[in-house]
Structure formats: structure tokens, C-alpha cells
Structure 1
Amino acid sequence: MNLSERVIIITGAGAGIGLGIARQCREAGANIVGFDINNDGADKLREIGAEFEQVDVADPDAFGRAIKNVYQQKGHLDGLVNNAGVTIRVPFLDMSHEQMETLWAINQRSVLVGCQAAARIMKTNNGGSIVNIASNHARCTNPGFEGYAGTKGAVVSMTRAMAWSLGPFKIRVNALCPGMTRTEIVQDAMQDPANEANFRSWAADNEVNSVEEVGNAAVFLLSSASAALNGADIIADRAMSALLGVMDSRGK
């Protein structure tokens, strides 16, 4: 899974899964430009030899310009990981239009914008690989996640369509759907032994994904080792979604 000399943009790269993907891509030899709306993770990206740009993916024009600027500076663009996202859990009947718009703009529209901008470059740049980070909520979900799950399901469906739209230009598009993962928020929650035991119980091997493990899956999809995969949705949740009723939030 060699990514040597490849230029790859990762959104939401300053923390959590995005930073894990950036770290593993760097270890595979890629040149990484990490986009994030916050500056907090800039130093962490630079520590691993990645570049940082402050970009709001919810702003379509700014996001598109940022992708184009990377290409102009680097001379080529080989990969894009649409990782930036937001989770909003709220009782369905209480969900506001503003919350709906936030989920749509960041989780779904930014994927369309990013894929289109990158593909226009890759089309004339000998192709490339795009990885859209969805979620196992695209496969199974719980009350309160209607908006979030909807956007992640849309990412998987859009990915399938893009595979056929972009495949003729040697551009592969796949979706990676992580389950429970040790992001900073999850790590904090797992300081409580009850939470840790609960989180572990949702996985067949009693483990919780690390961000590096999800990162390795992204490296695979970005590399030529996954040449046969296009339009796929890879569920990376340690069989969490394979068991009926594995996580029941109804409180019954």
C-alpha cells in the first residue's frame, strides 16, 4: 500500500479520524494537505510532515478554490478523502431546520463539491482515488440520528453513482463507513469504565477501532492495492452493524 509521492487532500484532518488517516497516509509516503475549519490541529499535522490549510468545507466556493490551489501548487492531485463531518443527535420531532441545514451542508453537500472539484482535476491528471467517509449509520441507526444517518446514507449512494460517472476517467470513488472509533471524544468517554465496557460490547472482538486502524483502511482504498474496488462501501465497525439489536438506544 505505497502512496509514495502522491498528493492527497484530507478534510477534517486536524483531529480524530481525519488525523489518523493523515498519519497513516504519511507513513505510506504520501504528501498530505490537511483541510480543517479549526486551527487546533495545525501543529499536529505539521509534526507528522503534513501541510495544513484552514478551509470551511461548508462554503462551496472556498472549498473548491482550496482544492484548485493545492493542484496549482503541487502540480498534481492524486487523492481526496472527504472526512469532514458533524454529528447531531436530537429527537426527530425537535430537530430544527438549522440543524438539518448544517448536516446537509457539511456531511453531504461538501462531498459533492469536493468530489466534483477534485475529479475535474484528476480527469486531466491520469485519474486518482477518492474516499468518502460515511458511517455504519448508513447501514443501521438509532432514534435521534435521522438527519445524520440520512446524510451518511446519501454519501454511500452518491459514491456508487460517482463510480460510474468518473470511472471512465480512471477515477475510483469508494465509501469508508467506520463504526465506534477512539476519537478524542470517545477516548474521554472511555475513561468511565462503564462506558468502556459498553463500547467494547458492541464489537464482535470486544475492541474499539483506533483512528490509525480506520486510517489504514483509507490508505488501502487510496492505493493501487484496491484497484478492483470502485463504488464500494466498506463497513469498518468490527461487526457492530452485523448483529441485529447490537445497539438499542430505546432504553427498553
Structure 2
Amino acid sequence: MNLDGKHIIVTGAGAGIGLGIARACRAAGAEVTGFDVNVAGRDRLEALGARFMQVDVTDLDGFEAAISEAHSREGRLDGMVNNAGVTIKVPFLDMTRAQMETLWTVNQRSVLVGCQAAGRIMTGAGGGAIVNLSSVHARATNPGHEAYAATKAAIAAMTRAMAWSLGPQGVRVNAICPALVRTEIVDAAMQDPTLAAQFRRYNPEGTVTTVDEIGALAVFLLSDAGAALNGSEVMADRAMSALLDVFDVRRD
């Protein structure tokens, strides 16, 4: 779980899961470059001792150039965490093509480009590790998330393929598939006791995963401790997707 001397890029690092991952990587000794489209994340990242770069991952050429710039500045790239993503939940028959395009560009195309750009650097430098943020929706989803679920399933599928594409050159590629996580938005929602109780019923432990717990998983996968894992999907859902007798908590 030691990342001393390593340089890690984290996308969507200014808040939520990305900030939790950046914090965990810094605590493990890594130099961290955090990409985020929102400048509000600068102070949070710099408070951790991380470097902030304003990057819009939907600008695929600009995103690739930012990865190259961060690599050149630090002189190395040991880990890439493709965390940036968006959620759009609308009734399936009402979803617009613009909404579909947003989901695919942010959640899938940017991850593909991030893996390719980082992979080119890492394969030329003897190896590294890539972590992609998928979702429990890649395995178990619900109405209104059709396009979102498809993007997260795509991340899981291409993670498996890239393990073989990049593995022979020493690059491991794995995915983390979280369920509900206590981001700033979820924490605010949980101030409502009814919602808090509902969220806690999503898993047998009756708790909600924290961003720091996801951060710890990312560090494990980026570190030598995770050397045996390649092409894996870590279901960080506290068994939410393991229930055979699926029920809708909204109707229970």
C-alpha cells in the first residue's frame, strides 16, 4: 500500500470520490496531479499537497495533452485513475440524444482516451497501473439509468480487454465498481432521516461507503500490494448487487 516516489493522475479530483482518492494517494506517499473542470477544486487539492490542473475530459485532445504535460513536468507517470463521470437519470423514453452523448463522452470516451494516453507513457517506461471508476450499475441497475449503466458496463468491459493489451508491457488495468458513496451531495441528502434510512437499507451492513474507503481501494490497486489483480472489477457495493431476491426499497 506504499506509493512513495510514484506520480498518480486522478481525474475529477476536485470533489467527491476523486478527492477521496487523491487524499489517499497523498497519504500513501504519492505525488498527485488532480484534473478537474471546476476551479473550485484547486484549494482542496493544494491543501493536500497535490497539484491542480483545470482539465475538461470531454475535450479529448486537450485531455490527452494534459496527461502528457503532467508526465513531462513530473518526469514519470506511475498511475492513472479515470474517475471523472456524470450521472443523468431520466425516464428511458424521454432521454435526449444530447444527454446520451454527454454520458458517452464523459463516462466512456474520456476513459478510453485516458487509458490510451497513460498506457502509451507507461508501456514505454516499464509499466504502471490504471484504475477506472465503473459502478454497481455495470452489473445491477434500475429504470432511468439505461444509458448511464451502459457507459459503466463499457468501462468494465474495456478494462478486461486492456488488461491483455497492456499487461504484457507491465501495465495493470482494474476497475472499481462502487454503489452509493458518501460524496458531498449524498451527505447533504442524508440530513433527511428518511433518505438516510433508505440509503442504509441498500446493503446488509446498513451503512454507506465513504470516499476514503474508495480511496483506500484505489491505493491498493495502484500499489505493488495489488500486483495479482489485472482486468478485475472490484465490486465496492457492500453486497448490494449480490442479492438474489431483488426488491425495490421505494415500495417495501
What TM-score do you get using the length of structure 1 for normalisation?
Answer: 0.98
Q: Aligned in 2, Cα 1:101/1:111: closer, same or farther, shift over 3 Å?
A: same
Query: 2:115: which partner in 1?
Result: 115
Distance 2:133 2:205 in 1: 23
Distance 2:137 2:152 in 1: 7
Q: Aligned in 2, Cα 1:96/1:230: closer, same or farther, shift over 3 Å?
A: same
Query: 1:11: which partner in 2?
Result: 11
Query: 1:153: which partner in 2?
Result: 153
Distance 1:42 1:98 in 2: 29
2:148 aligned with 1:167: no
* Partner secondary structure for residue 35 of structure 1: strand
Matches within 5 A, 1:70-219: 70-219=70-219
Structure 1 residue 241 displacement after superposition: 1.1
Structure 1 unmatched ranges of 5 or more:
none
**Kept in 2: contact 1:21–1:215 (CA 8 A):** yes
What's the CA shift string for 1:171-215, capped at 9, x where partnerless?
A: 000000011100011001000001111101111111100100010
**Kept in 2: contact 1:108–1:154 (CA 8 A):** yes
Q: What percentage of residue pairs aligned between the two structures are identical?
A: 63
Structure 1 residue 138 displacement after superposition: 0.3
What's the CA shift string for 1:84-106, capped at 9, x where partnerless?
A: 00000000000000000000000
**Kept in 1: contact 2:201–2:249 (CA 8 A):** no
Structure 1 residue 248 displacement after superposition: 2.1
Structure 1 residue 73 displacement after superposition: 0.7
* Partner secondary structure for residue 34 of structure 2: strand
Structure 2 unmatched ranges of 5 or more:
none
**Kept in 1: contact 2:11–2:84 (CA 8 A):** yes
* Partner secondary structure for residue 69 of structure 2: helix
Q: Aligned in 2, Cα 1:43/1:246: closer, same or farther, shift over 3 Å?
A: farther
Query: 1:38: which partner in 2?
Result: 38
Q: CA RMSD in A?
A: 1.1
**Kept in 2: contact 1:142–1:248 (CA 8 A):** no
What is the identity, as a one-letter code, of the residue corresponding to 1:232? Answer: S
Structure 1 residue 244 displacement after superposition: 3.3
Distance 1:176 1:140 in 2: 14
* Partner secondary structure for residue 44 of structure 1: helix
What is the identity, as a one-letter code, of the residue corresponding to 2:2? Answer: N
What TM-score do you get using the length of structure 2 for normalisation?
Answer: 0.98
Structure 1 residue 250 displacement after superposition: 7.4
* Partner secondary structure for residue 144 of structure 1: coil
